[in-house]
Chains A and B, each alone.
Chain A
Amino acid sequence: MNNDPIIRINRVRKSFGPVCAVSEVTLDIAPGEFFTLVGPSGCGKTTLLRMLAGFETPDGGSIRIDGTSMIGVPANKRPTNMVFQNYAVFPHMSVADNIAYGLRAARVAKGEIIGRVEEALAMVGLAGYGARSPAALSGGQRQRVALARALVLRPKVLLLDEPMSALDKKLREQMQVELRTLQRTVGVTFVLVTHDQEEALILSDRIAVMFEGRIAQVATPHDLYQRPQSREVADFIGVMNFLSAHATVSTPDGMTVEIEGLGQVTIPRSQAPANLGDDPVVGIRPEMLTILQDGTHAAGRSARGSLVDLQY
């Protein structure tokens, strides 16, 4: 496998009337990567995904998939397949016909179609369900049919538009594990869109956080959680307490800031941006805090306070 990006998005723009949905997005996605676009609703993530699929045309910029420009290539001619939010499993066809649908368009030989449909059903754990009607399936099973229907075509990129949002919490967690395993098995590049940051952290190799049509940060789940590059990102991913501070000393090892009410705190170099403004904001993950008895000697960073309320 070469390491050239499978998807190259370069300065892509898209507006709907006066509303700018995606502005100047540049992004590379590596082959075999599980890549997630995450952000609040209306941030342009779905529009970007639909431009990859070919359902929307960019106003400007370029999209290349596997080295080929996608400008002017219609959705039915792209090496991508999509799993839709409500799965869009055709209700008037059996499960097997749904999965065979794309193979028939590709004029795959009849004998081969049967084998590949069986294979795809087994892959998503639905062996023996071929003759059933989609109406007789649960939400989770319908999602598997949608996955099988897309993956049976062996796309270069699988696009997933909020595939978990219609499932209840328990099933969602189960499907997340299965989706991750499936992606590793088939090795296809997955591009997932979700508004659920937790889901993004669980599933992805890399995540792009989007706000108002722009990409705020692209990073691995670990880096995104530990080293958010802006307050917006820090606020969106996980829970974060924000404390306003003044910068005091900056050394090669780290940076010392004065936090109001807490005193001086030294922050390691890896956690601090290169240049601090006059009034930086310090973010602390709640799980990083430990509450100690008054009078206990605490080494390093500690501050005195009183416990006002307790919630489990």
Chain B
Amino acid sequence: MSIRSSALLSLYVGFFLIFLYAPTLLLPLFAFNDSTIVAFPLSGFTTAWFAGLLDVPALHEATINSLAVALTSAVLATCLGILAARATTRYRFRLMHGMLGLIMLPMVLPEMIIAVAFLVVILHLGFSLSLFSIILGHVLLCTPFSVAILRTAFQGLDHNYEDASTDLGYSRWATFRLIIVPMVLPGVVASLLISFTISLDEFIIAFFLSGTETTLPVYIWGQLRFPQRVPNVLALGTLLLAISLGLMITAEFFRRRGLRKLGLSTQESVL
């Protein structure tokens, strides 16, 4: 490659990365800025916006709701993921690929469609909207990710380990508990963390399906109507960004450790 085209390529990559990440990086920048107006030039450093988050009861409520929804969705999606991953890696059956396709579909389905569909069904069945309806939507959304992660974990599992455990005197259930679960545990942790993160950040479904109780992203959306609250929202966003990033990195760490343990390559990622 000539020097010229290599320089052009570097320039392109540079612009690409700036375009992709600069807006996100502005978030923490203004969150620490000592001014209510979100604009350059920066006027000074402050942590007041973060401190201010502490005395908003509605925010605390939304945070607790979000954590509850994310935790429940993550656990449910991972349980479903374990069952689906186990079934589709251990057994061959009719319509398996069709079934997997349907499980994975919500990954590409517009969230708006899912949200509206859920809204219509829930209201028609006569249920009222609550955190539970948000959880339902989030489980649907998180399960494909959970299945994708757990299938790689289960695929690395040699059937001989199960046979060996049975042969040494254990029932199928004891084998599942003592051999299979520990061996796919890193995948389970990765699935929990990623599902948790997806649910924590999710806005559209939470917005459509929340009744009187809201989650954090919906709360943030509500706050954007008040210009004087914007720096607070930026501070909150910065925290969420840090938490999400931290969870994703932890999840990938666990997933790779799991694959290494089974002696598999850690190069390719499911996400």
Residues of A within 8 A of B (CB): 53-55, 74-77, 80-82, 84-86, 88, 90-92, 101-102, 105-106, 149-150, 153
Closest-CB distance, A25 to chain B (whole angstroms): 21
- Which residues of chain B come closer than 8 Å to A85, judged between CB atoms? 160
Q: In the complex, are the beta carbons of A86 and B168 less than 8 A apart?
A: no
Q: Is the CB of B163 within 8 A of A153?
A: no
Chain B positions 126 through 162: 1 when the CB is less than 8 Å from some CB of chain A, otherwise 0? 0000000000000000000000000000000010110
Give Cα A75–Cα B169 distance, bound, in whole angstroms. Answer: 7
Residues of chain A within 8 A of B182, CB atoms compared: 92
User: With an 8 A cutoff between CB atoms, is B174 at the interface?
Assistant: yes
CA distance A105 to B178 in the complex (A): 11
Q: What residues on B are CB-neighbors of A77 within 8 Å? A: 169
Taken together as a complex, chains A and B put the C-alpha atoms of A88 and B165 apart, in Å, by 9
Which residues on the B side are within 8 Å of A106 (C-beta)?
Answer: 169
| A54–B164 alpha-carbon span in the complex (Å) | 11
Interchain CB contact (< 8 A) of A153 among B158, B169, B262: B169
* Pairwise interchain contact A55-B163, C-beta atoms closer than 8 A: yes
- Given A82-B164, A88-B164: A76 and B169 within 8 A (CB)? yes
Determine which of A55, A74, A92, A149 lies in contact with B168 in the assembled complex, contact meaning CB atoms within 8 Å.
A149
Q: Output the residue of B165, B167, B170, B263 with the most chain A CB within 10 A.
A: B167
Contact: A53 with B262, CB < 8 Å? no
Provide the residues of chain A in CB contact with B170, threshold 8 Å.
76, 105
A81 touches B167 (CB 8 A): yes
Q: B158–A105 contact, CB under 8 A? A: no
Q: Given A82-B164, A84-B164, do A92 and B169 touch, yes or no (CB 8 Å)?
A: no
User: Which residues B154-203 have CB closer than 8 A to chain A?
Assistant: 158, 160-161, 163-171, 174, 179, 182-183
- Count of B interface residues, CB-CB < 8 Å: 19
CB distance from A121 to the nearest CB of B (A): 16
Query: Distance (Å) between the CB of A150 and the closest chain B CB?
Result: 8
Q: Are B261 and A92 in contact (CB under 8 A)?
A: yes
Shortest CB distance A52–B (Å): 11
Q: A53-B167, A84-B160 are in contact. List 15 more A-B contacts (CB 8 A).
A: A55-B163, A75-B166, A76-B166, A80-B167, A84-B164, A86-B158, A88-B160, A90-B161, A90-B165, A91-B262, A101-B165, A101-B168, A102-B169, A105-B169, A106-B169
CA gap between A100 and B4 in the complex, in Å:
66
User: In the complex, A53→B162 CA distance in Å?
Assistant: 13
- A191 → chain B, closest Cβ, in Å? 14
Q: Which of B158, B164, B166, B262 has the largest count of A CB atoms less than 10 A from its CB?
A: B164
Task: Tell me if B163 and A75 are in contact (CB < 8 A).
Answer: yes
Are A91's CB and B261's CB within 8 A? Answer: yes
Nearest residue, chain B, Cβ from A93: B182
Whether B163 contacts A84 by the Cβ 8 Å rule is yes
Q: Which residues 226-271 in B have Cβ within 8 Å of A in the complex?
A: 261-263
**CB-CB nearest in chain A for B261:** A91
- Nearest B residue (CB) for A159: B167
Chain A contacts for B163, CB-based, 8 A: 53, 55, 75, 82, 84, 88
- Which of B158, B161, B169, B174 has the most chain A CB atoms inside 10 A of its CB? B169
Question: When A and B form their complex, which 4 residue pairs have the shortest distance between CB atoms, in order from nearest?
Answer: A105-B169, A102-B168, A88-B160, A88-B164
Min CB gap B128→A, angstroms: 46
> Could you name 14 residue pairs across A and B whose Cβ atoms are closer than 8 Å?
A53-B167, A54-B166, A55-B163, A55-B167, A75-B166, A76-B169, A80-B167, A82-B167, A84-B160, A84-B164, A86-B160, A88-B164, A92-B182, A149-B168
- Residue contact B160 to A76, C-beta cutoff 8 Å: no
Contact A76 B167 (CB under 8 A): yes
Do B160 and A153 have beta carbons less than 8 Å apart?
no
Please tell me if the beta carbons of B183 and A153 are within 8 angstroms of each other in the complex.
no
Enumerate chain B residues within 8 angstroms of A53, measured Cβ to Cβ: 163, 167
Which of chain B's residues has its CB closest to A161's CB? B160
CA distance A235 to B32 in the complex (A): 83
Determine the residue in chain A with the shortest Cβ distance to B185.
A92
Q: In the complex, what's the smallest C-beta–C-beta distance from A48 to chain B, in angstroms?
A: 16
- With a 10 A CB-CB cut-off, give which of B165, B262, B263 has the most chain A CB atoms: B165
Q: A85-B160, A88-B160, A92-B183 in contact; A75/B167 too (CB < 8 A)?
A: yes
How far is it, in angstroms, between the C-alpha of A53 and the C-alpha of B263 when the chains are bound?
Answer: 28
Nearest CB in chain A to that of B174: its residue: A105
Asked whether A90 lies within 8 Å of B179 as measured between CB atoms, the reply is: yes
Closest residue of B by beta carbon distance from A75 = B166
Q: Quick check: A91 and B183 within 8 Å, CB to CB?
A: yes
Complex: A76 Cα to B179 Cα, angstroms: 15
Residues from chain B with a CB closer than 8 A to the CB of A76 are: 166-171
Q: How far is the CA of A53 from the CA of B168 in the complex (A)?
A: 11
Query: Min CB distance, B23 to chain A, in Å?
Result: 43
CA distance A97 to B182 in the complex (A): 14
